[in-house]
Structure 1
Amino acid sequence: MARIRAGEALAPFRVLDLSRVRAGPTCVRMLADFGADVIRVEPPPGVDANDNMFVDSREGGDFQNLNRNKRSLTLNLKRPEGVALFKRLVKTADVVVENWRPDVKTRLGIDYESLRAVNPRIVLASISGYGQDGPYAKRPGFDQVIQGMGGLMSVTGFPGQGPVRAGLAVADSSAGLYAALGIFAALLERERSGQGQWVHTSLLHAQIAMMDFQAARYLNDGAVPVQCGNDHPSASPMGLYRASDGHLNIGAAGGGNWRRFCEALDRTRWLADERYATDAARIANRAALSAEIEEVFATATVQHWVDLLNRAGVPAGPVYTVPQVFEDPQVRHMNATAQAVASSGKTCTFITQPVHLERTPGSVQAAAPDCGEHTDEVLREAGLDDQEIRALRELGVV
């Protein structure tokens, strides 16, 4: 098959994807969805015992969603012939993405300076657990470990419950997205300078950045964030409340929202109650206010209150299970999913790219490839003939 064209925005660019697990593939998926020619470079089966970490099946939903719109080339980078072949590919590439421990690329001879010597325009994006240097640089970095070290687990959950991990891979996913942003910036700067550069981020720094207002309040105001359950730490009423048939989230903080909320619930007397007169007062008296709100909400359904509050301009929404998310009419309208057929014939469903470009949108055009599915094709594009490819296979290089 020819290269996959999922979009036009990044169609001029070729990306060599050395990444595994989640952070790196998340980064590269964004490039692939917008049309970059992405070649997933994988070791031949049996070369790396950790290659399929967390991968039950290449046809599983997680692997497919992370690696759609990519081609696959097998290449043994533990052999000098494999490294030489990789550098040959680098000559015509724009971006290399890797998420190994920092010393691995240097040991293999494909660190930034080595790649730059081959192609001065190359952008190398590195994602690590803790950064490219420093006392923890050589530690392996896993999402849950980083959630703990980055502060997220200390603010997730209910008071006194003890640390709780978030229900998704916040550190991995955010590091991948920050890396993609760095790549875009480096490619844009290259238009001016003509030079590539080394872009690197880490799960730890990304997780700290995702702490956002919680970390900023501590650094500037000395406010130590704590577990608040489903309540917002610095606003009220803003959180989860029970209705007659389930739960809903509301965001009635701020003077305007608070007034509209009280008027919609026909509880204007709350506006005159000194306990609820200001944001600070409502936070201080959160328990009493929440009890009064839930007394009202208990009289009708979640849907009733969601509709009533949104009509009044007060943010409110139901709490969905994952299946309910994809049944929601707005989610359907947004085309939040798309399908593609894997090489086995299985139809896979993907989460579409949440960033929309009106003129050059991204898309899902192809399911994740089989391991090495495009090896011969990519090597022929690099100028190798069939005899050379057979020789590489006999040597175990591809």
Structure 2
Amino acid sequence: MGVVPTDNELTGTVRSLRTSNSGLGIPKLLATLLSSQPEWSVSEKRLRKVIQRLKSEEETNFHPTSSLNSALDVSKYSNKLKPILFGPEKGKGLVATQDIDAGEVLWREDPFVYAPPWEIYEAQMAGTASWQDETRSNLTKGKGTSNKLGDESPLSKDAIWDTYRSFATLRNDQRWSHTSENDLARSQLENTFRRLHTVLINALYLQHSESQEDVTFDSTNTGSIPAPSRSAAHTKQLKRLLRVPIPEATLNSLFSWDGLMEGLGKMSLNLEAHGGLFPLHSHLNHACRPNVSIRHISPDGSTNSILHSPNPSRITVIAASLIPAGVELVVSYVDPSLDLRSRRRELRAWDFGICQCGRCLEEENSNSNTEHPEISGNRTKIEGGDERDVGQLEDELRGFLSV
């Protein structure tokens, strides 16, 4: 009589066999199991129960898939760290391969997918900043065409954009004195600015094949962004494309739970309110006691204003404390100066779950009033003798008001 394996032994072996032989049914899987473990005695009924339990675990496993990027050359950034895969729940991360001193610059990185900082919009509207791709004119000009600004059509996209920048700067000029003549001139400038803004939007929407004579200074529709101008053939083609069903694989990658978690993992959640996806920086996991800091440093070494620097999207990763070899590099996705409940609430808004980092667990254990892992807190009596948690009430109000 063979040896009866324990549940843990049988489950582990069956899990690995199902991974390498996903197309086998239960009878063939049992034969494969007994051939790999000839000393075992396992019935088909027991094997079915183990497989049912494994399928149930797989259905309730909400962890997104994660794998290391073989195309990412970490050595070009730093030789003091390496990416590793912790597991299905935590995913990827960065670990120090050498001792790192506090204040040491670990690496500088430009974004793989760029998104401008939020403050650029206000600067653009005020006419104090211009955010444009320097390769824009090179991409729009064809071979054999002139690159002189004077040779451009007065209604070309480049010419309109340059004129718009000049108007925006003049519009923001604070040296206008409040005289009747200047007030009238300023009013006329505002009307011209709005018309020019409409023409600019129209020009950016126009197709390259369409005639630029279609762009007109329409003074009647300046309050909203106009609809893009499309030819009948283009509209017909668009309707035909919209009737094509989206592949199931694409829908699953975008709207499944795994796709949602992958999208959340690609977000930049550092304290610097700055967008963009960075290949190596995206490996950094969260901890409420971070050991690295992300900075946007101007060429002069300051961090006050990066809007006008040559590389405003470049980040610099600096060690915030001593990092021994083998320790993971972590950043804080929220303000680390917040208390336990506030930090966990901010992380919960990103579907992060309950933070179980070392600092949170220490504060949770040291706070005798903490009766729920998400709520630290001060209880108060309300009329009628009911006890309500102030933090719980605050969370309910925030959820009701969507703030």
TM-based fold match above 0.5: no
TM-score by length of 1: 0.22
The structure having more radius of gyration, on CA atoms, is 2
TM-score by length of 2: 0.22
